[in-house]
Structure 1
Amino acid sequence: MEQKISMVSASLNGVRISPRKMRLVADLIRNKEIQKALSILEYSSKKRVSYFFRKLLLSLLSNWKRKYEQLEDINLYINKIVVNQGKTLKRLRPVPQGRGHRIRKRSSNISVFLGKNKK
C-alpha cells in the first residue's frame, strides 16, 4: 500500500515588492520540477523577485527533507503558487498648491506547495 503524502508548503510574508511583479516570475516556475525551477530563477536574476523565490524554494526543499527524510529518486514539482497582497504602506507626496497625492507601497505574501510526480 502506498503511503499517502500530504502537502509540504513554505511561505514568505511581507516582501516589499508588489504582487503584480511577483506574479510575473511565479508564472515562469508554476508546475515545473523543482530543479528546473531553481535553474530558471538562477538565470532570471535580472528580476529582483527571483532572489526571494529561490530562497523560498530552498526552504521548501528543506521542509520536505525534514518531513520525509529522503530527497533522492523523487520527482518533486511545484504544485501550487499563491501570491497575495500583503500590507500596504501609505505615503504622501507633496504636489503644488499645498496638496498631497497618496503613494501606495505594496507588499506581497507568497505561499508555495510541493507535490510529487507519479513517474
Structure 2
Amino acid sequence: MEAIAKLNNYPTGPRKMRLLADVVRGMEVEKALAILEFHPQHNAVPLAKLLKSAISNWEQKNNGTSAADSNLILKTIFVDGGRVIKRMRPAPQGRGYKIRKRSNHVTIIVDSKN
C-alpha cells in the first residue's frame, strides 16, 4: 500500500529541485535519506523532511508497521512549478526589468518493494 506526501509552494526554482529529485528517484528510503542528509544543495533539507513525512504516512496507513522491516522504496517523486511572484527591478533610462521569483510543488510516493 503506497503513501503520499506533498510540499507546496517551496520558494526555490523547480529546475534546482528536479536536479535533486533525480538523484534519489527509485532508491530505497534509507539510502535516499542518507544521501539527502549529506547533500550540499540547500533543497536537500526540505526534501529529506518530506521523505520522512511520507514514511510516517506509510506507517500510519499500514497500522504502525515499521518502515525498516518492509523495504520501502521511493516509488515516484515529481516536481511541478508553483506560483511565480513577479517583481520589477529598476533599469537604465527609466525602464524596468521583470524578476520572477519561482516556487515549486513536490510530490513523493513511497511503497513497499513487494
Q: Give the Cα separation in 1 of the matches to 2:10 and 2:19.
A: 15
Q: Give the Cα separation in 1 of the matches to 2:55 and 2:9.
A: 21
Q: Number of residue pairs matched? A: 112
Aligned to 1:65, which of 47, 59, 62? 59
Aligned to 2:24, which of 29, 35, 47? 29
Q: Using the aligned pairs only, state the percent identity.
A: 42
Q: Mapping of 1:80-95 within 5 angstroms?
A: 80-95=76-91
**Aligned residue for 2:44?**
50
Question: TM-score of the superposition, structure 2-length normalised?
Answer: 0.95
Aligned to 2:11, which of 12, 16, 19? 16
**Aligned residue for 2:71?**
75
The answer on 1:38 being equivalent to 2:33 is yes
What do residues 7-42 of structure 1 show as CA deviations (whole Å, max 9, x unaligned)?
210000000000000001000100000000000001
Unpaired runs of at least 5, structure 1 = none
**What RMSD, in angstroms, separates the aligned Cα atoms of the two structures?**
0.8
Unpaired runs of at least 5, structure 2 = none
My pick for the range that moved more, 13-22 or 71-80, is 71-80
Q: Mapping of 1:92-111 within 5 angstroms?
A: 92-111=88-107
Shift of residue 91, structure 1, vs aligned partner: 0.4
Q: Give the Cα separation in 2 of the matches to 1:100 and 1:41.
A: 39
Question: TM-score of the superposition, structure 1-length normalised?
Answer: 0.91
Runs of 4+ in 1 over 4 A off after TM superposition: none
AA partner of residue 85 (structure 2) = L
